[in-house]
């Protein structure tokens, strides 16, 4: 199931080098399109660009579509982690961690989506973060803490690779690239927390909904996804009727379609313009 084997990269120099961005008609993209290499890593965004065949082969094998944090590691470092990574299927609703609990595993989602929630004294939960293939669940461990104050709950079913806490600490100790990748990611999380604090204070529901839909699109890599009113209400910390009103407005402006939880982004640019702007800020600061 090794993702490295499946996503074999003969053009290794390109992977270990620092490609700043895949340039249109640049050598990396040409090599990718010509089928000379199976994958190119874009270090600027932490994205792995896979050849369609490689992507298909991976999903056909039931194997992981490479998590971006793992994909951004040099091959040797990645390979040394493989023995400790265990593929798991995460099911929507499953709770991976309760506030204050000792973190037992870290998770690198592939196509699963995981919510970080703050549980309020009145038992209400409010989403404060979202982790998908771009990230890792359990980043507190990389910051040398044993626990974190959030509830971690699976929001979109899918696959992930997990590693137990002890192995993870060991891996972190021996791989400098892993440390750097995770610090960068932790910093992105911090930027996100900061932005959410300001966004919650200043921005209107409609703009926040638009922002959140764009973030979800990035994580699932699709313009279509499923989200109930209830999930959206929890996420945005508003009542369900507020979600209905905001979604209706976005729908009327032909930016999205929304039917019984099935969301489709019709006009990404328009949605971005309708969003509160926090989406762009986080992306720019954290990349």
Binding site for other proteins (CB under 8 A): 118, 120-121, 124, 126, 128-129, 140, 142-145, 147-150, 180, 183-184, 186-187, 189-191, 193-202, 237, 285
Task: Work out how close the CB of 37 gets to other proteins at its nearest, in angstroms, rounded to a whole number.
Answer: 28
Return all residues near 137 (Cβ < 8 A) that are at least 6 apart: 96, 97, 106, 107, 108, 109, 114, 131, 152, 160
Task: Answer for the pair 104, 169: CB distance below 8 angstroms, yes or no.
Answer: no
CB nearer other proteins, residue 204 or residue 262: 204
Task: Work out how close the CB of 51 gets to other proteins at its nearest, in angstroms, rounded to a whole number.
Answer: 30
Give the distance from CA 271 to its chain's centroid. 20
Task: Work out how close the CB of 233 gets to other proteins at its nearest, in angstroms, rounded to a whole number.
Answer: 12
Task: Work out how close the CB of 145 gets to other proteins at its nearest, in angstroms, rounded to a whole number.
Answer: 4
CB nearer other proteins, residue 75 or residue 180: 180
Q: Which residue has the tokens 């699109």?
A: 217
Q: Where do the DSSP E strands lie in the chain?
A: 39-42, 47-50, 86-90, 95-97, 105-109, 113-119, 125-131, 151-156, 158-164, 224-226, 256-259, 262-265
Residue 262, classed as helix, strand or coil, is strand
Task: Work out how close the CB of 279 gets to other proteins at its nearest, in angstroms, rounded to a whole number.
Answer: 15
CB nearer other proteins, residue 60 or residue 121: 121
Task: Work out how close the CB of 64 gets to other proteins at its nearest, in angstroms, rounded to a whole number.
Answer: 26
CB nearer other proteins, residue 24 or residue 102: 102
CB nearer other proteins, residue 187 or residue 226: 187
What span, in angstroms and rounded, lies between the C-alpha atoms of 261 and 255?
16
> Alpha helix (H) ranges present in 35-100?
52-60, 68-71, 75-82
CB nearer other proteins, residue 190 or residue 231: 190
């Amino acid at each position: 199931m090794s993702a490295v084997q499946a996503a074999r990269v003969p053009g290794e120099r390109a992977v270990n080098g620092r490609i700043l961005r895949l340039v249109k008609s640049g050598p990396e993209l040409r090599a990718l399109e010509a089928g000379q290499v199976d994958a190119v890593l874009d270090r600027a965004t932490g994205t792995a660009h896979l050849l369609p065949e490689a992507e298909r082969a991976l999903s056909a094998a039931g194997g992981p579509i490479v998590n971006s944090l793992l994909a951004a590691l040099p091959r040797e470092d990645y390979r040394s982690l493989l023995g400790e990574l265990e593929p798991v299927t995460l099911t929507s609703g499953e709770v991976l961690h309760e506030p204050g609990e000792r973190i037992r595993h870290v998770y690198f989602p592939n196509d699963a989506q995981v919510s970080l929630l703050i549980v309020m004294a009145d038992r209400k939960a409010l989403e404060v973060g979202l982790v998908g293939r771009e990230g890792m669940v359990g980043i507190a461990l990389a910051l040398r803490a044993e626990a974190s104050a959030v509830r971690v709950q699976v929001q979109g079913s899918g696959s992930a690779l997990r590693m137990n806490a002890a192995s993870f600490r060991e891996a972190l100790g021996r791989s400098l690239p892993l440390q750097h990748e995770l610090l960068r990611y932790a910093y992105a999380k911090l930027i996100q927390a900061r932005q959410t604090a300001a966004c919650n204070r200043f921005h209107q529901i409609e703009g926040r909904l638009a922002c959140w839909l764009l973030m979800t699109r990035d994580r699932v890599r699709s313009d279509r996804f499923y989200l109930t009113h209830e999930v959206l209400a929890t996420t945005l910390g508003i009542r369900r009727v507020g979600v209905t009103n905001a979604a209706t407005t976005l729908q009327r402006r032909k930016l999205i379609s929304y039917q019984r939880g099935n969301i489709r982004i019709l006009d990404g640019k328009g949605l971005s313009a309708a969003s509160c702007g926090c989406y762009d800020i986080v992306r720019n600061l954290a990349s």
